Amino acid sequence: CEFQYRESIFKRNKDWIIFSTSLRMESGEAVELQNEADGILKVRNEKYPPSMKCAGSIFKNLIVSELPAAVREQIPSKVVREGKAPSAWFLEQVGAKGMRRGDIQVADYHANLIYNAGQGTAADLVAVISDLKERVRGKYGFDLEEEVQYVGF
């Protein structure tokens, strides 16, 4: 499967669709596992309420060592975690929060969260993503990479 950080053979073969899978996992204490799952769900539901129509984060975080030196120098050390800079930080710097096209909107509280506030279209979503990528490219000289997968485009 060639799993890596947000990468696999499945992401490189865009025409592949996974219909089912079997996973083998280590067993553990049920109470501990449930507590961990509950904690993860709590954090996720705060960021992405279950009623929100979104795919989660749109862009991959960036590996700092792979960025041009001039860009690395601009990133505050407090935003870097495990060698990665959040794409949301770059999006904030280009005014992404609250941006809207039709019913497709960038969240006011997280620049890497795009959601459908009503009857947004795929065309609106693609336009917002394209605009955000152009803004970051214009200011920083590199392309953000989407982590969402497009189906039927």
> Which positions are annotated as active-site residues?
6, 57, 147
Number of H-type helices and E-type strands within the chain: 5, 6
Taking the C-alpha atoms of residue 20 and residue 123, their distance in angstroms, rounded to an integer, is 29
* Side chain identity at residue 119, one-letter code: Q
Unique residue bearing structure tokens 């769900």 = 41
User: Using an 8 Å Cβ cutoff, are 140 and 90 in contact?
Assistant: yes
- Whole-number Å distance between alpha carbons of 106 and 115: 6
